[in-house]
Structure formats: structure tokens, C-alpha cells
Structure 1
Amino acid sequence: MNLLLKSSSIKHPAPIKITGSKSETNRLLLLQALYPNLVLDNTSNSDDSEVMLKALQNFQLPTSNFQLVDVHHAGTAMRFLTAYFSIQEGKEVVLTGSSRMKERPIKILVEALNQLGADISYEENEGFPPIKIIGKKLIQNKVSLPANVSSQYISALLLIAPKLENGLELTLEGEITSVPYIKMTLTLLNEIGVKTSFVGNKISVKPQFTIHNSQFTIESDWSSASYWYSIVALSEIHFQVTLFSYKKNSLQGDSALANIYQDFGVETVFNEDNSITITKTKNHQLSIVNYQLNNCPDIAQTIAVTCFGLGIGCHLTGLHTLKIKETDRLEALKTELTKLGATISVTNESLTLEASNHINENIAIDTYQDHRMAMAFAPLALKISLTINQAEVVSKSYPDFWEDLKIIGIVGSEVH
């Protein structure tokens, strides 16, 4: 489905409800599978979380001891389920995914689990899915990982750690990236009663075989909120949007949005009912911005497009993990922004955009099966008419996105 986006008169919307954080939901779904008395509210309705939930539910059915599990494009599910299936004694699983998933590395996680005593092997290419997992009881409790790997590898190990016979002692070698996502995992473990410590480059998790009944209300997704920050930044002064179920002391690294978007004249107010109101209070006075996004790389696409729409230059660093996402997001951003008239360069871990007030109209943006490409570029409809190709990819994290845009007057019509 290709959508031609146009904005009519922009309206102040009623409060918008974004479902729970995909990151928190997928962690808690795995913990719920390990501790069935855990009750979850405001779970994400994203494709990734639906895939994760379905895989866990099907696995728990009294079927044969062998299963083929296909996670499609869901990278989080691939990493977390690799760890989960490795400790399911007596069960055998082949875990696979889309053609792009088969290009996304998993060797570091597999090697770490095998060091702990797991039995995981490759079905096709060394270091990549699909993988065959024979569930075992893991006795070993010490393992090391490079500190600059995807935090999902680290979190996958931490999430199963309390169910290991002797817990886990994890050493991270080098400079740690994506610290907020590691801390998110540890905080969620703490909140269900698991004892952890994170000192220097060493993380330890104590065994915890049962938990008391626990009920969780999951905070809404800050990554999804980023597109609303971009819309507000690109709007006229005094335009505002209210979003429900957000916390001031969020576990999500992408909550850095609230500070970053002040540079673009956007103020955030945290309300007593756990909503946030984001308002365009002034026009920016900047010609270029610099952000180190090690802790929140998923908002890089949104920020780059916001800057382009505002005519601001930007230099974004800490983006090395973006090359192994649904697509190589740095190259994809370079290609699509160049179509729109941008002057942009990328390295393996950075993006530099020159300031420009010119935007080419009637461009079709390719999304590369990447939900964030579709949603990051959509706010430019406030400035120009543009087409988003494969617009349905938003279902991966924010299925209601196009419907929610209609509320403020950004309307998409299908084109062929």
C-alpha cells in the first residue's frame, strides 16, 4: 500500500492513546512466560509484540517436542526467544524469520548462550538465523560480551538469568552502549523481586524461581511519541498534542525526546493523569544541532527528518547499531533525504545533514520494510505532498499511526 499524504487545515486533536512500549512489553511477555502469575496491562499492539506473544503461547501448548517458530521481521523476538528457548528442557525449536532477518547477526548471543551450556547451532549460514535450539538446564553462570553490541543481546541473557540454576554474572568488555535499555531490563527484574547489581562493567542477577503475584501497567511507547514531537516541531506556534500513559521518570531511553525537542521550540508538560502535553511554544533560533544518540538510536531518523523540515543542519553520532536494523537505516536515510533535496553524508556510526530551506515536492519515499522510515518521513506532509511506499509497515510498532494522523488533518490516499 502506497499512501499519498496531504495536510488539510491542521486541527488540535483530542488526547491520543499510544499503546505500551514495545521494548517493555516484549521483556515482560518473556518474564510472564517464565513466571505465569505476572499480569500485564497496556501491552503493545505492535506486530513485534503480537509475534512474541503468539510464539510464547504456541510453545506452551501441549504439542510435540519440536516446533518451527517464524518471527518474520521481529528482531527483539528473535533475540529474546533465542535465550528463552535455550532453557526449555527437552524441547527442540528451529527459530527463523524473514529474508532480512536471516541477514541480521546473532552469533554473539549464540556464542554467549553456548558458553553457558546451551545447545544452539546454525541451520544455514554461520552466525545468522535460522538456528536450531535444543533446550537444556544451564548450570554455568559466567559469560563475557563486547559492551558495544546491541543491548537486545545483553537483555536476552539478563531476562532468563533468574531462572538459571546459579543466576548470571555478565562482564561487558569495552565501552557500554544503549545503557538505558540494559537498565530497563534490570529495573523490570527488580520490580518482580529479582535481585540484580550493575557495577562498572559487571552485571549480576541472582536466581529467583518464583515471584509473588504482580500486576504491571506498561508505559506507552516513547519511540512512537517521537513522530508527534516531529509534527509539533514542524507546526505553527501554539499547536499542541496530548499523549496518554507517559512517566516523567521513564525507563525508556527515547524519553530523551523531551529534552532534545526543546531545541526545536517544543515544550513538554507532564500532567497528573500520566499524560504529556507537547506544545510548539516558539520558533527555533538554530542553524545546526549536535546530538550523541548512543542511548536512543531509534529516534535518529525522526530527528534527522525534523531538522530537514525545519531547515536546520545536524550532526548525529552513536548510530552504529542502525546498520543492522530492519534495513541499514543510515544508508536509507541518506538515499531518501537526498531525493527530497538534502545534502547528507553518513559513516558507519554518524549522520551529517547540511542546513537547507529547499524541499523537493511530490517525492515517493521508499521504506525498505522499516516502520521507522515510514513514520519518520510522514510529518513532512505538513510542508509538502509526498508518498510513503509500503505504508503498511507501520504495523510493526504503531498499527494505528495513519488513523491517528487523520485526527489532526494529515490524510493519506492510496496510490498505485
Structure 2
Amino acid sequence: MNLKLITNSQFIIDNSHLKITGSKSESNRLLLLRALFPNISIENISNSDDSEVMQMALRGNEEIIDIHHTGTAMRFLTAFFAVQENRTVTLTGSPRMKERPIKILVEALRQLGAKIEYLENEGFPPIKITGQKLSQSKVSLPASISSQYISALLLIAGKLENGIELTLEGEITSVPYIKMTLALLNDLKIHTSFEENVIKVFPKPEIETKVMTVESDWSSASYFFSIVALAKDGTTITLSSYKENSLQGDSALVEIYKKMGVETHFDGNKMTLVKQSNFKLETLNLDLNSTPDIAQTIVVTCLGLGIGCHLTGLHTLKIKETDRLEALRIELTKLGANISVTNDSLTLVPSNRINPDVKIATYNDHRMAMAFAPLALKEPIIIENAEVVSKSFPDFWNDLKSLGFGISEID
């Protein structure tokens, strides 16, 4: 499904109120914890494909589980099934998933005593996991890896008889996501500590009955920050349900978009975005080591505003649903941008030029589709394979229509 988006910053429906689905990151962590501790109940679970895949995998009894494009599920479920005694499972996925590395997590689990085999290529899915009791507790990992590897280990740690003592070697990537995992464990009274580069999770065989409510997804909110930034002065959009003191690292959007003319106001669980009239900025310089998932949204916003940006800390983007840095370079160049990328950075030169009616390839990557959509406020744009947004935000196109975006399906 290809969609053509046509709108204008003067015609965005002002004072709109949208309820965004629960955080995919929080939902998937809590779904795994509920599988380990069944007396947890969860409210406001994400309706994303990723969370649906997690729920189906955790509910079922299949010997072969296909998680399709869901990287979070591959990592979290690898750890989960490693501790499911007397069960053998094969985890597989899409062709792209079979290109995404899993070796570091597998080696860490093997340090703890797990039995995991590669079925095709060394270091990559599919993998065969023979669940068993893990009695070892000390493990070390490179600190620069995806935080999902680290969180996968932390989530199962409470069920291990000796817990886990995890040493991270080097500079840590995506600290907010690690802290999110630890905060959720702490909410369940699973004791943890995080001092310097050592994380400890102490054993907790059982927990008390607990209702956990998932906050709405900040990564999904990023596209509305972008829309407000590109809209006329005074435009407001209200989103719920959000916390001013969020566990989610992407809540850094508040301070980042303030630099791009968007003020954020909180009232209870509602967050209102307001476009300011005094915005002045030539180049945005950011280290996104802790929040790489919002890089695509930010660089596209900068293009729409006619400003430049230099974004660093992006090394994990190369092993996402696609090589996001290369995908950004290709698609932004189509739009007329002067952009360069390295293995961990991106530089956009300021320009007021945006080519109209460009077809944006999405590379089976939900964030490519959603990050480029707000540019319709500046020029008509075509999003190819637009249905890919269901991975994290199935309601995205309907929400844009409710804001006044003209959206039509084309060949």
C-alpha cells in the first residue's frame, strides 16, 4: 500500500487530542515479566505488531516460533526460553532478522549455562534453545551493544537462583532503556543495583500480585513533535497518556524539540505541544547515544525547517530493521538534501529545498514511514509500503487524517 500525503501547515486541525498506544518498550518488558511471574496484570498494552508477536510467542507451545521482523522479541525471547526447563524452542524470523546479530547475547547466556545452537549462520538466527536451570550468575558484555541484549538478561535475572551480576565493558549505550528495565523490576520489588559499570539483580522467586500500567509510547509521540514543529505558529496538539517524569529515554524529545520551537506543557496525564513563534536555529548538534530511535524523526524535521543537524551516537542504527543511516542518506538525497553519514553519525547541511512528490522507500522499517510523513506539511510526499507502521503504531495514518492530513492510496 502506497499513500500520497498532501496537506498544508495552515490547515492542521488545531487543539486536537490523540491517545497514543502504550509504549512498545515497556509492554514487551512487562509481557516477559508476566510470563515469568503470572500474578502480574498489565493495562494499556501496546497494540503494535511487535507486542502482538511477543504475546503470541509467550502464550503458545510451538516448537518453532517465527518472530518476523521483531528484534526486541528475538532478544527477549532468547533469554526467556533459555530458562524454560524441559522445553526446546527454535526462534527464527524474516530474512532481515537472520542478518541481525545475536551472538553477543547467546555468548552471555552460555556464560550462565544456557544451551543454544545456531542452525544456519554462526552468530545469527535461527537458533535452537534447550531450556534449563541456569546456576551461574556472573557475566560480562561490551557496553556499546544494543541495550536490548542487556535488558534481556536483566529481565530473567530474578528467576535465576543466584540472580545476575552483569559487568559492562566500555561506554554504555542507551542507558535510559537499561534504567527503564531496572525501574520495572524495582516496581515489582525485585532488588537491583547499578553502580559504575556493574549491574546486579537479586533473586526473587515469587512476587506479590501487581497491576502494571504502561505509559504511552514516546517514540510514537516524536512524529507529533515533528508535525507541530513544521506547522504554523500557535498550533497545538494534545497527547495522552504521558508522564512528565517518564521511564522512557525518548522523553528527551521535550528538550530537543524546544530547540526547534515546540513547547511542551503537562496537565495530569496529558501533554500539550505548542508551536512557538520565536524559533531561531541554524544547526542542531546532538549526541543520540541514549535515544537512537528518534534520530530519523529529528533529521527529517530539520530538513522541513530548513536547518542543518549533526547527530552522533548512532552506531546501533545500522543493525535495526534496516541500515537506518544508509536508508536516511538515500531517501533524504531524493528530497534534495545534502546529507552525509558515517558508521555512527549523520550530517545534514541547511537548505530550504525540498523536492515534491518524492516516493519514500520504507525498507520494511516502520520508523522510516512515520518519520517522513510530517514533510507533507511542506510538500506532497508518497510513502511506499505504508502498512509497515503497524509494527509499532497501527493507528498512525488514521491519527494523521484526524489532524487534517490529506491521505489517499495510490499505485
Same fold (TM over 0.5): yes
Match of 2:236 among 227, 235, 240: 240
Q: Is structure 2 residue 85 aligned with structure 1 residue 89? A: yes
Structure 2 CA distance for aligned equivalents of residues 239 and 195 of structure 1: 45
Residues 140-155 of structure 1 mapped to structure 2, 5 A cutoff: 140-155=136-151
Question: Cα distance, 1:411 vs. partner?
Answer: 2.3
Give the conservation status (yes or no) of the 8 Å contact 1:13–1:407: no
Q: Is structure 2 residue 396 aligned with structure 1 residue 401? A: yes
Q: Is structure 2 residue 105 aligned with structure 1 residue 103? A: no
Identity %, equivalent residues: 67
Unaligned 5+ segments in structure 1 are: 60-65
Q: How many aligned positions are there? A: 409
Name the counterpart of 2:25.
Answer: 23
Alignment-mate amino acid for residue 298 of structure 1: D
Give the conservation status (yes or no) of the 8 Å contact 2:159–2:203: yes
Q: Is structure 2 residue 344 aligned with structure 1 residue 349? A: yes
Match of 1:73 among 34, 59, 69: 69
Name the counterpart of 2:378.
Answer: 383
Structure 2 CA distance for aligned equivalents of residues 338 and 414 of structure 1: 24
Name the counterpart of 1:33.
Answer: 35
Alignment-mate amino acid for residue 359 of structure 1: I
Q: Is structure 2 residue 10 aligned with structure 1 residue 14? A: no
Alignment-mate amino acid for residue 85 of structure 2: E
Partner of 2:17: helix, strand, or coil?
A: coil
Alignment-mate amino acid for residue 181 of structure 1: Y
Q: Is structure 2 residue 395 aligned with structure 1 residue 415? A: no
Partner of 1:413: helix, strand, or coil?
A: strand
Name the counterpart of 1:301.
Answer: 296
Give the conservation status (yes or no) of the 8 Å contact 1:230–1:302: yes
Match of 2:204 among 199, 204, 208: 208
Name the counterpart of 2:253.
Answer: 257
Structure 1 CA distance for aligned equivalents of residues 393 and 405 of structure 2: 16
Post-superposition Cα deviations, 1:44-80, rounded to whole Å, max 9, x if no partner, equal 0000000000100113xxxxxx610000000000000
Give the conservation status (yes or no) of the 8 Å contact 1:70–1:95: yes
Structure 2 CA distance for aligned equivalents of residues 13 and 36 of structure 1: 41
Structure 1 CA distance for aligned equivalents of residues 391 and 296 of structure 2: 16
Name the counterpart of 1:2.
Answer: 2
Give the conservation status (yes or no) of the 8 Å contact 2:179–2:247: yes
Instruction: Note the aligned Cα RMSD (angstroms).
Output: 0.8
Question: Cα distance, 1:284 vs. partner?
Answer: 2.1
Give the conservation status (yes or no) of the 8 Å contact 1:118–1:136: yes
Question: Cα distance, 1:312 vs. partner?
Answer: 0.3
Q: Is structure 2 residue 328 aligned with structure 1 residue 326? A: no
Match of 2:56 among 36, 42, 54: 54
Structure 1 CA distance for aligned equivalents of residues 391 and 15 of structure 2: 24
Name the counterpart of 1:370.
Answer: 365
Q: Is structure 2 residue 192 aligned with structure 1 residue 196? A: yes
Name the counterpart of 1:161.
Answer: 157
Alignment-mate amino acid for residue 53 of structure 1: Q
Alignment-mate amino acid for residue 91 of structure 1: R
Partner of 1:95: helix, strand, or coil?
A: strand
Residues 168-183 of structure 1 mapped to structure 2, 5 A cutoff: 168-183=164-179
Structure 1 CA distance for aligned equivalents of residues 14 and 78 of structure 2: 44
Structure 2 CA distance for aligned equivalents of residues 37 and 161 of structure 1: 17
Partner of 2:254: helix, strand, or coil?
A: helix
Partner of 1:16: helix, strand, or coil?
A: strand
Structure 1 CA distance for aligned equivalents of residues 372 and 201 of structure 2: 41
Name the counterpart of 1:288.
Answer: 283
Question: Cα distance, 1:14 vs. partner?
Answer: 3.2
Post-superposition Cα deviations, 1:275-320, rounded to whole Å, max 9, x if no partner, equal 1000002242111110000110000000000000000000000000
Structure 2 CA distance for aligned equivalents of residues 411 and 116 of structure 1: 54
Match of 2:109 among 113, 117, 140: 113
Give the conservation status (yes or no) of the 8 Å contact 2:336–2:353: yes
Structure 2 CA distance for aligned equivalents of residues 281 and 386 of structure 1: 25
Question: Cα distance, 1:15 vs. partner?
Answer: 1.2
Unaligned 5+ segments in structure 2 are: none
Structure 2 CA distance for aligned equivalents of residues 362 and 203 of structure 1: 50
CA pair 309-75 structure 1, distance change in 2 beyond 3 A: same
Structure 1 CA distance for aligned equivalents of residues 187 and 250 of structure 2: 21
Give the conservation status (yes or no) of the 8 Å contact 2:15–2:235: no
Structure 2 CA distance for aligned equivalents of residues 180 and 240 of structure 1: 28
Alignment-mate amino acid for residue 401 of structure 2: K
